[in-house]
Structure 1
Amino acid sequence: MLDLAPWAWMLLALAAAIVGVSKTALPGASTISVAVFAAFLSARTSTGALLILLIIGDVFALLAYRRHAHWPTLVRLAPAVVAGVLFGALFLAFADNTLVKPVIGIILLGMVAFTLWQRRTSRGAACTGLAMTAGYGSLGGFTTMVANAGGPVMSMYLLAMRTPVKVFLGTAAWFFAIVNIVKLPVLVGLGLITVPVLMVDAVLAPPVVVGALFGRWMIPHVQQALFDRIVMILTVVGAAYLLVP
């Protein structure tokens, strides 16, 4: 993994920075990072490597927004998320790289589809029902376990509930901090976090910190709609690349 070409390291560093930005400014933007990591590392290895960087980003998100979480939402999602995480762990235990890579691509395209569908429908109380909460929670748990791609699912859930910005960011911060810590021993047990993976993460940790600090600064200065469009386009491109044999 450490023998990657310089341009590949540059793209991985950019993806790591996006992880930081997604944690402090734009939840869901890390789907770009998922695509980049899966493209340059093996699909299973990318899941382990990216998790460590996400946890680093979680620290900065909690420092910024830890007091703004809506805990009833987190409690309501918990059972379905746990079920999704367990199913995702089972999937990873038996799936090889040839299966995980296209699954990641399909998941990313699904997240874009969810986003576009949500923006063309009313954002009322549709997600407050038990069925919708179970659906979003289980899908979020599965996608975050298999591909670290649960951000868009949870973003759509919180948007549908008309969550204020700071409450949105605080709830997402605690959600992913808890889930990612729970996932850590599972991925270690599955052999996805190794010494070479940690060496890669050591190189890419500084861009995550820079991205997290930049994300905190950029919130009042960037138009959300434009950035969302860029995220969707890059996510589709990354997902399409992963689906190519």
Structure 2
Amino acid sequence: MLNAYVVNNVWFYALGIPALLLTSLSKGGFGLGLGVVAVPLMALVLPVPQVVTILLPMLCITDLIALWQYRGKWSWPLLRLAIPAALVGIGIGTLAIHHLDEAWLRLAVGLISVDFVRRRWWSPRRIALDTAPHNEAAPRVRPVSCLFWGATSGFTSFMANAGEPALTMYLLPFRLSNSRFAGTTAAFFAVVNLTKLMSFSMLGLFTRTTLLTSLLLTPIAVLGTYAGIRLNRRLNATLFHQLSCAILLVIGVRLIYTSLKVIV
């Protein structure tokens, strides 16, 4: 089945290449959240578990590129609790992968994404929050929030490659600079995806065909990552955060729509 799609079905590449470009642009730091649309697009021609399995090796490569480009620019205070929480989320995903309906997971991520944008754009406190003093070097981390969003990101990343909205919702209130935002994201997902790689291997999800497909599409992922890095450097900080919220809104609505079609 997978061989037929990969080798003979042009729709796999027609949808997969744009999806991969969106994912790799996001990995490069341009508009955090773009990567979450890759799975729904590619899932039009392949089951979600196979899509996630094909994407994962490429994500690990693009993570390493982004990690090198933004080396030393991540915020360790924001990561020291979020990463262990994400590993817990991955562990839960490993146990639940064969039992949880993926449509309900996409619906939950979509609702949370839309609600976050609503609160950021229309809350009466938004202006006060945006103009408050902020120290990137010593952000005021709330442990409960950190643990919740870290675990949610790890879990949703494992189940449907949808970990970016949860991490975005955790990081955006700190109003990090473009490079620190991208560096923190790169460090987080480098650990998450390498851990997923080990979990997927233990679960026996990789096949010769999925690995060859990943290898074939890797040059596109690398080019997209470098394009995202260049775009990140040229973006105004305010525009970057507004763009991230806009992307989250579009993704959230899309996730809700596609999930409800399956559930209803």
Q: Normalized against structure 2, the TM-score is what?
A: 0.81
SS state of the match for residue 197, structure 1?
helix
- Residues 20-65 of structure 1 deviation map (CA, whole Å, 9 limit, x = unaligned): 1001122211011121133321111122112112112112211210
Deviates more, 1:234-243 or 1:75-84: 234-243
Deviates more, 1:108-117 or 1:226-235: 226-235
SS state of the match for residue 44, structure 2?
helix
Deviates more, 1:114-123 or 1:48-57: 114-123
Q: Which of 60, 69, 78 is the aligned partner of 2:65?
A: 60
Task: For 2:167 and 2:235, locate their aligned partners in 1 and report how far apart those are by CA, in whole Å.
Answer: 24
Task: For 1:154 and 1:165, locate their aligned partners in 2 and report how far apart those are by CA, in whole Å.
Answer: 15
Q: Which of 155, 171, 182 is the aligned partner of 2:184?
A: 171
Alpha-carbon shift at residue 93 of structure 1 (Å): 4.1
Contact 2:23 2:34 in 1 (8 A): yes
Query: Which aligned pairs between 1:114-129 and structure 2 lie closer than 5 A?
Result: 114-121=116-123, 122=126, 123=129, 128-129=141-142
Task: For 1:85 and 1:31, locate their aligned partners in 2 and report how far apart those are by CA, in whole Å.
Answer: 17
Contact 1:136 1:154 in 2 (8 A): yes
Alpha-carbon shift at residue 231 of structure 1 (Å): 6.0
Contact 1:15 1:32 in 2 (8 A): yes
Aligned residue pairs total 242
Q: Residue 192 and residue 140 in structure 1: after superposition, are their counterparts in 2 closer, same or farther (change >3 A)?
A: same
Query: Which aligned pairs between 1:132-147 and structure 2 lie closer than 5 A?
Result: 132-147=145-160
Contact 2:11 2:45 in 1 (8 A): no
Task: For 2:103 and 2:42, locate their aligned partners in 1 and report how far apart those are by CA, in whole Å.
Answer: 11
Residue 84 (1) aligns with residue 89 (2): yes
Query: Which aligned pairs between 1:217-228 and structure 2 lie closer than 5 A?
Result: 217-219=230-232, 220=234, 224=240, 225=242
Q: Which of 100, 115, 131 is the aligned partner of 1:113?
A: 115
Task: For 2:151 and 2:71, locate their aligned partners in 1 and report how far apart those are by CA, in whole Å.
Answer: 24
Residue 74 (1) aligns with residue 76 (2): no
SS state of the match for residue 34, structure 2?
coil
Residue 237 (1) aligns with residue 250 (2): no
Q: Normalized against structure 1, the TM-score is what?
A: 0.86
Aligned to 2:11: 7
Where do 5+ consecutive residues of structure 2 fail to align? none
Q: Which of 17, 22, 33 is the aligned partner of 1:18?
A: 22
Q: Residue 184 and residue 163 in structure 1: after superposition, are their counterparts in 2 closer, same or farther (change >3 A)?
A: same
Aligned to 2:201: 188
Aligned to 1:104: 106
Q: Which of 36, 41, 44 is the aligned partner of 2:46?
A: 41
Alpha-carbon shift at residue 103 of structure 1 (Å): 2.5
- Residues 143-183 of structure 1 deviation map (CA, whole Å, 9 limit, x = unaligned): 11111111111112111122222111111111100111011
Q: Residue 239 and residue 201 in structure 1: after superposition, are their counterparts in 2 closer, same or farther (change >3 A)?
A: farther
- Residues 198-237 of structure 1 deviation map (CA, whole Å, 9 limit, x = unaligned): 1221222121112112112223168544575356435533
Aligned identity (percent) is: 28
Contact 2:165 2:248 in 1 (8 A): no
Task: For 1:23 and 1:221, locate their aligned partners in 2 and report how far apart those are by CA, in whole Å.
Answer: 15
Contact 1:62 1:170 in 2 (8 A): yes
